[in-house]
Amino acid sequence: MRREVQSSWIRWAAVAGAMVAVLAFLLVLTAFPICSDWAFICENTGSRKGYREWFLGLQTNKWYEESKLEDFVKKEYPNEFQHRWTSYQGTGRNIFGIAIVRRHGRPGPILMPIDWLNGYVDHLDPDQKKGLYDVFKSDDPKEVRNAVDKVGEFVPKKGMTNRKMLLTNEPDSVRLSVSMVVCSSFLRNTPEKQRFSGRGMTAKPYEGISNGSSTI
């Protein structure tokens, strides 16, 4: 009888120990990323791409979103076309898919919803499109900022009611960059007396803007 009790206790202890070990292992897994969702923007064209990278190096869920500026330059000036990729999203996720690590590069002011840039490029003639590409490619901070500010000036004229929808799926890095573009454009185009009065901030809907570019 005593041996049976001892044997039973041993079995229960073994089961309990195994359960504790499994729980401890799962807790350890929650603290380490098993995959990372990456997204990049080309600072020469505004195009985007991304993928999910697993801890063994395997890449899945690859996607690519070409800007209209890239499409134009590749067709009209293929010998001058170059990419310059910078990461704007790097989210590490644990075994449960919870984001536990955020790391990415520091793109310039071109980081904005791609539909804004496409809408602006649609209204440029070929020479202006080439000039815009040359400015972005030059990586001159002042010239690039001036070019991006022009995009910010163009979007309010077409309506800002869809802006919240455009930013719904964007990472924080894009939202911050967009806020800087919008504020810069507002300060440049609104008389000083009206900047904080609420006047000069209304806009008409722009149905030409669709949902913002997707990110992983």
Every domain of the chain and the residues it spans: 1-31, 35-194
pTM of the model: 0.66
Predicted local confidence at residue 104, as pLDDT: 79
- Say if residue 209's pLDDT is above 50: no
Q: What sign has the CA pseudo-torsion 150, 153, 159, 162?
A: positive
Predicted local confidence at residue 27, as pLDDT: 74
What is the end-to-end Cα distance of the chain in Å, rounded?
A: 62
Predicted local confidence at residue 28, as pLDDT: 72
Predicted local confidence at residue 56, as pLDDT: 87
Confidence of residue 198 (pLDDT cuts 50, 70, 90): very low
Question: How buried is residue 166: exposed, middle or buried, by Cβ count under 10 Å (0-12/13-18/19+)?
Answer: buried
Spatial CB neighbours of 86, under 8 Å, sequence gap ≥ 6: 40, 41, 43, 105, 106, 107, 108
Confidence of residue 5 (pLDDT cuts 50, 70, 90): low
For the segment 170-196, the average pLDDT, to the nearest whole number, is 46
